[in-house]
Amino acid sequence: MHAPPPLRWGILGTGSILAKYVEAFRLAHTAQVVAVASRDAGRARTAAASLGAARAYGSYDALLADPEIDVVVNALHNGIHCEWTVRALQAGKHVLCEKPLACSSAEVEEMFAAARANKRWLMEAFMFRYHPQIAMVSQQVHAGDIGQPLYIRASFMGHGPDRKNPRYWATAGGGALMDLGCYCVNLARLVAGCEPQNALAQAHFKDQTGVDLTLTGTLGFGGSTKRAAPSFLTAHLACSFESGGLYGADIVGTEGRITIPHPWLPPTWPAEYIVTRGGSTETVRVGPPDMPSHYAAPFTLEIEHFAACVRENRAPQFPPGVDAEQDSRANMRVIEALLESARIGKPVKVKR
């Protein structure tokens, strides 16, 4: 039996994220980039050449009108994720949209409504979830390997890009929480196995635009459907455009601890994390050693998963077996609660 031809992909946008897709698509067996679009035709041609794509478009609409494209990657800035994702879905394309999926819960609902109305799949591109270390850590925690989880810490901090970058624009959904802290929120929720009840945050805002340059926050969790979770299970998150690099996560339980030095994009393949329990320490290595690129691996696995969902007409999942649509909804609600708390200086209940 012959394998079906690769799905044909188009990419909206030629920003810095594009470089991360070049090798990822080269390694993918079920996906092929055939077109790239930019509002600058020259940038589109350069990007298309780097990806081996046959076509370069000087407008996003032109790419969406291409009948030979099955799937679109929305790699535009956050402020126009909703607009162009909805347009792509209405054009009959499936969409893998860069994180964060949208700027608000209202936009998230609009995007998934468009996906349902047009019978197409939409998934948020949280590539770190497809690195096997994340699924393995989650499974160990939920199996009780470190006892009852008590405390989660997650950090994603580093010097930001040039101040002219959309990450600093309020109108583009900018800010450290949206760009970096969304990862921390996602990991904390996964590890907790339930949704937080309340959020408390502080932030250093750029100016009156309300763009957060640094934000720290605490999430309080209640009971879990997977296991009994104590009411004092908390997560502490830190994200920043203003500091030196700090990446890592710790999960502390009643019988041990798991430390993930690089939860977002590990510098090696296999990745390594550390389990401490009973007075002993074990380094766990995760990921087949024959994967040629640690940098592209989670992106490739994400692409392959979404391609399989499109071919088999099944709902996308975030490993380990989490409904991606519901997870994206819940993640945005927590982000909104943290931002509201930072702005008013008080704890905020997380909406359901």
Would you kindly state where each structural domain of the chain is located, as residue ranges?
A: 7-125, 129-349
The correct CATH number of 7-125 out of 3.40.50.10190, 1.50.10.10, 2.60.120.1310, 3.40.50.720 is 3.40.50.720
Beta bridge partners of 322: 318
HSE-up (13 A, CA, CB side) for residue 294: 16
Query: Do 7-125 and 129-349 agree at the fold level?
Result: no
Predicted local confidence at residue 41, as pLDDT: 96
Predicted local confidence at residue 223, as pLDDT: 53
Predicted local confidence at residue 163, as pLDDT: 81
Residue by residue, pLDDT tens for the chain (352 residues) are 567 788 999 999 998 889 889 999 999 999 999 999 999 999 999 999 999 999 999 999 999 999 999 999 999 999 999 999 999 999 999 999 999 999 999 999 999 999 999 999 999 999 999 999 999 999 999 999 999 999 999 999 999 888 889 999 999 999 999 999 999 999 999 999 999 999 999 999 988 778 999 999 999 997 544 544 455 799 999 999 999 999 999 999 999 999 999 999 999 999 999 999 998 999 999 988 777 788 899 999 999 999 999 999 999 999 999 999 999 999 999 999 999 999 999 999 999 8
Which CATH architecture is the domain 129-349 placed in? 2-Layer Sandwich (3.30)
Predicted local confidence at residue 225, as pLDDT: 41
The whole-model pTM stands at 0.95
Write 82-86 long-range contacts (CB < 8 A, 24+): 82/107, 82/110, 82/111, 84/12, 84/60, 85/111, 85/114, 85/122, 86/110, 86/111, 86/114
Predicted local confidence at residue 1, as pLDDT: 54
Predicted local confidence at residue 48, as pLDDT: 96
Predicted local confidence at residue 44, as pLDDT: 97
Q: Residue 27: name the closest of 326, 302, 310, 329 by CA.
A: 302
How far is residue 129's CA from residue 77's CA, in Å, rounded to a whole number? 21
